[in-house]
Structure 1
Amino acid sequence: MLSDFPSLLGAGLVLLGIFLLGYIGLKVKFPNVILYILFGIALAGLLDHNSILHFSSEVAIVLLFFLLGIEFNTKRLGGIAKKIWSSGLLDVGLSLGVSMLIALGFGMDLFTSFLIGGITYATSSSITAKLLDDKGRMANAETEYILGILIFEDLIAPIIVAILIALSSGNTFTGLDLVILIGKIVGLALIAIVLGKTLFKRFEAFIIKIEDEDFKIVLLVGLAVSFGGLALFLGLSEVLGAFLAGVMLAEIGKIERVEGTVTPIKNLMLPTFFVYFGTTIDLGEGIPLPVLLMVLVLWSVIAKVLVGTVGGKLYGLTKRVALRAGLSLCARGEFSVVIAAVAVGSVKVFSGIYIVVTAFIGMILFSYAPKITRKIYGQPEKKKKDLKVPTYY
């Protein structure tokens, strides 16, 4: 019986499946993230309550954003924040606001329309970060802008979740509740900054003294998971907490010491997040509201491309780089799943199908973004080297 299926056996089979799918993905040059999600959907009935898989996926996403946060010390983060707010608000208006209006136009009530707007809003931080890493685009000109948008969305999405949960439970979400929520986000960020400037200022020297690599892993993973857990305790996202934990350690001199220790653990566990993500999606029977689904999927792509092209220009990117950024922001993922959990009945099934479709389309557009950009704008001009030609008399 499925209920008697051991969690440990399930986790072991998942790891073997991940290896097989990863190997196939490398051979056929197909995004392995898509294969992992499909694998999760196929195993949904068997592993939907697997505690080991769930825990592993939680730790994986925390470590991914912990390592991202390490790349952003407070000075760099402050510079991005000053530049990203206008593009972030454009994202809220297009991806959430217009989607909400579309749902209202299809006869949805205000709460359901806001719910659908929330589901269509946030780009999948985990999928996008994984693809940036896999495709070797971390050093690209658009990456800082993409990460800035993801961070902005990670700040807005918890507010959306809190409002929806309050409304779905019948409680009113007051202005005071919003102020408290924003206060928690600011407070957590301040804690990270203060600890980074004081307690962890000489962390590098402490790390060097620890010769046993196992103890380093325990310490660093413990810091990342604890800060992610603190964020959850405060009613925020563990992704935000993990990112801030990384920012906290970004002040040390040589961040590669931390990266070299944590990256292998992240690489081992991260595929389990995408498998677990697949197990949370209930496709149900048939496709409810197919016309609305097609319209929202189309608009979701258009909205993010506009966030890239228009918002990227506001941020200071060139047309070419801004388009590449927009095409890389289309995948929906973990926050959409969290918000969709509030839905019931056909809206929940609708939400699951939407997330799967946009995740796949987003990953494909990400993979082909450089080619599409070259197709539209042509090959980038190579910078001419100022060579001095010897003159003979």
Structure 2
Amino acid sequence: MHTEFPALLGAGLILIAIFYLGFLSIKIKVPGVILYILLGIVLAGSLGGNELLHFASEIGIVLLFFLLGLEFNVKRLGGIAKKIWPSGLLDLFLSLGVTTGIALLFNLDLFSSFLIGGIAYATSSSITAKLLDDRGRMANIETEYILGILIFEDLVAPIVVAILFGVSSGETFTTISFLTITGKIVGLTLAAIILGKTVFKKVETLLDRIADEDFKIALLTGIALSYGGLALYLGLSEVLGAFLAGMMLAEIGKIEKVEHTVFPIRDLLLPTFFVYFGTTIDLGNGVPMAGLLVVVLIWSIIAKILVGILGGPLYGLPKRASLRAGLSICSRGEFSVVIAGVATGVLKAFSGLYILIAAFIGMVLFERAPKIVTRIYGKPQKKKKDLRVPGS
């Protein structure tokens, strides 16, 4: 008698596989993210379009950015915004603008060229943030700059997606459409600031009065998912909404209380995002537009390194930290997958191969960044302490 394979059994097996791959990553010293993506590619035939996996992955990525937003209250975010815009525009020009021009030189039409530029533009926020956390680099001098670039890209990428979706659907993308999307982003951000300064100032007192962790989990996860979902409802990115939700709660001061409650759920569900990401990669048949693929890969990596080398000093970073930052933002991921969803045929296969290869190269460069910087600039010299007795 044939029985349908239970979704519950499948979910359990995926979690066991995630545990094994996480354990294996420690043993072989390969980022777990790479193994999770490979698992998704292997299981794409049976898990492609799986709603349960997709939903779990959405929660995982939302909680990652919710916790990330906790590190940025309004005052700190405002300070970063003042400093990041020159580097952000440099990134936009090099990664999106120049890549679009390269595709045009290969005789692609403007829409296809802009789509490839969009795929090559946004760094994978999830991969980069996860690696920063896993490798203990959150306290590094360049991390604030990296996060600033990611935030800038997360604000621009939804506009790029909206333009591509509008054009692909046959609609004319007008100035009004552009202003509407920009208005939604500004409105969502202003609402987060106002709520953070008013309503959420009282959350700390509420959390102190709740002894049961279950209720805290429900409240905090509900806030993160609601604001992420609101962003989706407005046609924006859920990671932007989740980040803003974290920023609202950053105003309470003692963010450790929130982090302690949310960390376990994030750690459980975040790997499912990378598994799901793997299932969305369509490798197609063969290597389409191989020459363009190689050129775009090489340039997109050079562009991000230049964003570090040239943009880092604009932000106030020393040259060592600037290079380390550039080497750490080469991965492509979630936004590239969303943009690639607009593509069809050969362009879809091209996009899938680019994302897969760029994600791997980016993660390798992230791992090697400290050693590469040391090889180029030498070991940092320790400052000698002045042990002279005053007056001698």
TM-score computed with the length of structure 1 as normaliser: 0.98
- How far does the alpha carbon of each residue in 1:1-47 deviate from its partner, in whole angstroms, 9 at most, with x for none? xx954332222111111111111111111111100000100000011
Distance, in Å, in 1 between the alignment partners of 2:155 and 2:208 is: 34
Per the TM alignment, residue 74 of structure 1 is displaced from its structure 2 partner at its CA by 0.3
Specify the alignment match of 1:177 in structure 2.
177
Per the TM alignment, residue 386 of structure 1 is displaced from its structure 2 partner at its CA by 2.8
Contact 1:7 1:51 (8 Å CA) reproduced: no
Specify the alignment match of 1:351 in structure 2.
351
Specify the alignment match of 1:106 in structure 2.
106
Specify the alignment match of 1:311 in structure 2.
311
CA 390–291 in structure 1, closer or farther in 2 if over 3 Å, else same = same
Specify the alignment match of 1:387 in structure 2.
387
Confirm whether residue 235 of structure 1 aligns to residue 235 of structure 2: yes
- How far does the alpha carbon of each residue in 1:69-88 deviate from its partner, in whole angstroms, 9 at most, with x for none? 00000000000000000100
Two-structure CA RMSD over aligned residues (Å): 1.5
Contact 1:10 1:47 (8 Å CA) reproduced: no
Distance, in Å, in 1 between the alignment partners of 2:7 and 2:90 is: 44
Distance, in Å, in 2 between the alignment partners of 1:160 and 1:7 is: 36
Distance, in Å, in 2 between the alignment partners of 1:390 and 1:82 is: 42
Distance, in Å, in 1 between the alignment partners of 2:8 and 2:280 is: 19
Counterpart mapping for 1:220-259 below 5 A: 220-259=220-259
Confirm whether residue 68 of structure 1 aligns to residue 68 of structure 2: yes
Specify the alignment match of 1:25 in structure 2.
25
Distance, in Å, in 2 between the alignment partners of 1:110 and 1:257 is: 50
Per the TM alignment, residue 389 of structure 1 is displaced from its structure 2 partner at its CA by 5.4
Distance, in Å, in 1 between the alignment partners of 2:141 and 2:133 is: 14
- How far does the alpha carbon of each residue in 1:114-139 deviate from its partner, in whole angstroms, 9 at most, with x for none? 00000000000000000000000000
Distance, in Å, in 2 between the alignment partners of 1:203 and 1:344 is: 47
Distance, in Å, in 1 between the alignment partners of 2:330 and 2:127 is: 10
Per the TM alignment, residue 385 of structure 1 is displaced from its structure 2 partner at its CA by 2.1
Per the TM alignment, residue 62 of structure 1 is displaced from its structure 2 partner at its CA by 0.2
Which has the higher mean CA deviation after the structures are superposed, 34-43 or 379-388? Answer: 379-388
Specify the alignment match of 1:162 in structure 2.
162
Specify the alignment match of 1:140 in structure 2.
140
Per the TM alignment, residue 315 of structure 1 is displaced from its structure 2 partner at its CA by 0.7
Distance, in Å, in 2 between the alignment partners of 1:68 and 1:138 is: 10
Per the TM alignment, residue 203 of structure 1 is displaced from its structure 2 partner at its CA by 1.2
Secondary structure at 1:201's aligned position in 2?
helix
Which has the higher mean CA deviation after the structures are superposed, 48-57 or 341-350? Answer: 48-57
Confirm whether residue 197 of structure 1 aligns to residue 227 of structure 2: no
Distance, in Å, in 2 between the alignment partners of 1:160 and 1:337 is: 13
Which has the higher mean CA deviation after the structures are superposed, 7-16 or 173-182? Answer: 7-16
Distance, in Å, in 1 between the alignment partners of 2:389 and 2:43 is: 66
Specify the alignment match of 1:127 in structure 2.
127
Distance, in Å, in 2 between the alignment partners of 1:5 and 1:100 is: 45
1:60 alignment partner AA:
G
Confirm whether residue 47 of structure 1 aligns to residue 63 of structure 2: no
Distance, in Å, in 2 between the alignment partners of 1:7 and 1:306 is: 46
2:81 alignment partner AA:
A
2:142 alignment partner AA:
E
Specify the alignment match of 1:151 in structure 2.
151
Distance, in Å, in 2 between the alignment partners of 1:6 and 1:158 is: 36
Which has the higher mean CA deviation after the structures are superposed, 5-14 or 198-207? Answer: 5-14
Specify the alignment match of 1:261 in structure 2.
261
Specify the alignment match of 2:90 in structure 1.
90
Distance, in Å, in 2 between the alignment partners of 1:388 and 1:154 is: 51
Which has the higher mean CA deviation after the structures are superposed, 12-21 or 130-139? Answer: 12-21
Contact 1:192 1:245 (8 Å CA) reproduced: yes
Specify the alignment match of 1:214 in structure 2.
214
TM-score computed with the length of structure 2 as normaliser: 0.98
Secondary structure at 2:201's aligned position in 1?
coil
Secondary structure at 1:119's aligned position in 2?
helix
Confirm whether residue 118 of structure 1 aligns to residue 121 of structure 2: no
Instruction: Mark the runs of 5 or more structure 1 residues left unpaired by the alignment.
Output: none
Contact 1:7 1:50 (8 Å CA) reproduced: no
Q: Percentage identity across aligned positions? A: 70
Secondary structure at 1:257's aligned position in 2?
helix
Instruction: Mark the runs of 5 or more structure 2 residues left unpaired by the alignment.
Output: none
2:114 alignment partner AA:
F
Specify the alignment match of 1:361 in structure 2.
361
Secondary structure at 1:200's aligned position in 2?
helix
Distance, in Å, in 2 between the alignment partners of 1:29 and 1:234 is: 41
Distance, in Å, in 2 between the alignment partners of 1:328 and 1:256 is: 27
2:136 alignment partner AA:
G
Per the TM alignment, residue 383 of structure 1 is displaced from its structure 2 partner at its CA by 1.9
Secondary structure at 1:250's aligned position in 2?
helix
1:76 alignment partner AA:
R
Per the TM alignment, residue 264 of structure 1 is displaced from its structure 2 partner at its CA by 1.1
Distance, in Å, in 2 between the alignment partners of 1:186 and 1:366 is: 32
Contact 1:10 1:50 (8 Å CA) reproduced: no
